[in-house]
Structure 1
Amino acid sequence: MLLEQGIIYLASVLSMAILLDKWFGEPNRLHPLVGFGRYASWIAVQCRRVKSANAGVQGVISWLFSVIPFIVVTYFISASFDSNLVRFIFDTAVVYLCVGGKSLVQHAMAIFIPLDQGKLAEARQAVQMIVSRDASQMDEQQISIATVESVLENVNDAIIGVLFWTLIFGVPGAVLFRLANTLDAMWGYKTEKYIRFGFTAAKIDDLLGYVPARMTAFAYAILGDIQQALRCVHRQASLCSSPNGGVVMCAGAGSLNIQLGGRVCYHAVWQQKPPMGIGPIAQAKDIARACRLLSSTTLLWLVMIWFFVLLGM
């Protein structure tokens, strides 16, 4: 796909998609990912009815039937256009729908504003929209930590991963990454219901996110305190449960000179997350700093992509 379409074409698609996301954000209604989530849930129900297969096999089948049809359809629709302009418009629209940078900032600021105003109950409701941990008993510090962690980790999921896989496999690569990431968010839990069924979704998401996570961490480091970021990744990332999230959050926290982690509640079970970063515990003001780091990271990688494009011309 990359050789067929050309790196310049894909860089142009990515740049326009990021601009569209910056201007408009995600569609307020009828976002395709919402429809995909419903479809994937229906597929999972059907596959779980196959009693001859264990939960792990059911999860594999569910993943394949959920993701592969959309990748194939995207490829053939894109390839079917005779007009380069129409193809560019279609491909840009698809990648734009896979990116979620502005939405992530909007969710984060919807937490920061009431938190900054002392409206703790409103901030708890807002943070519950973006995290799977129980927010009902969170204090101001825990809300700040959860929000900053979510922003730092999701830069990889909502932006850099899409950029990387679009460059590797074209627009179907963007679809592959975004849908795989969505299924991990739906099924990738270590609960009794999903620990075997969601194993495939979790591992595929880890695999697809491996390189983009390190790209994200690299950008965090050079955009802030590089020494602290690298030191935190080296010392702390291996202590985290996620092979990608740990690298990203440790680098981001080190870059911002703040500390994340601590006691959290997932699915009614309290856990102690390892410390990530160094310095004072994250506060409300650090939410805005994390959002600025998101924007700078996106811009940095777009500039670097075009630098390598022009260097290779």
Structure 2
Amino acid sequence: MRLCFPNSTRPKKAAKHIGGELGLALSAAQNGLARACGYRDWHEFNRSFGADTPSALDQELEHHAFVERQSDLSLALGRELGVQDGDAQYALSAARLTGDRPLLLNDQIAIRLSCWRKSVLPVVGARRRGAMGKLKTRGRNGEPVILLDFGRPTQVISHQEVTTIADFEYVAPRTSLPLFLPMRLYLPYGYWTEPDGSEVFFSRDYKPLWRLRKDGSVERLEPWLWIKVKEEKHLWDDARTPWHSASLKRSLEERLAGWGLPALPILADALPLLIHETAHRLDRSLINGITLLERARKPVPVAAA
């Protein structure tokens, strides 16, 4: 993939934003961005501006083409900068490198799922780890799930939990189902107010997702971060959950957009790690995916021999 630009305006602003978001030197961000866009380095990239027909802007693309381009770019940028592709996607989401398409949560979810399908979660056989299926069980018929283990017991991931079912309760549909991101990994359950007035949105498992400061700035938080809490408020209760209420899910998504949070938290990246986890087959839970995520983002140093 090679992206063409009419001038240096977007690339220069995007590199500055990406470097600041990821804590990188501007020169590193520029060269990584250049390589992700299909060039040898920033020097070659800089000489290309205006030389070819500009690539279509994001807002000019059909949804599928937009998602494909952004997922390719996120994977490439993560690889070139040596960062998690989820972090690269988040940095790109507000960088406006390839256009001014409105930032929407559903688009960001589609891009994240596309990244996983191209890398760590390719489509697999009907009864293999990571396959998509449906439940055939009382009160939950037709509910989509991701298969972890098939047999006795059978384990699956739903929007709300990792659950153990009988093997006959898992149905592999003839037509492949799309991968989904469990709502428990990205929708807020409530928020804490910190002593300085900042608000920290947390998941159903009371793990931090976002910090919204009083000046309106946003911080994407590591889910294992300790938060000093002055006050706690909830946005819903277990009598009416977003995975069982479409209107509540929509309301939460609208609130996130209103707060300036139409992107994905770090916690979302626990999903592929949990799917591939084999060490604790009977002790899996969505919350345990955080341990795997922390280990992946902060590898434990190997002691010298």
**TM-score (structure 1 length as normaliser):** 0.25
| Rg larger in structure | 2
Higher relative contact order (CA 8 A, sep 6+): 1
Q: Where is the helix percentage greater, Structure 1 or Structure 2?
A: 1
**TM-score (structure 2 length as normaliser):** 0.26
Q: Where is the strand percentage greater, Structure 1 or Structure 2?
A: 2
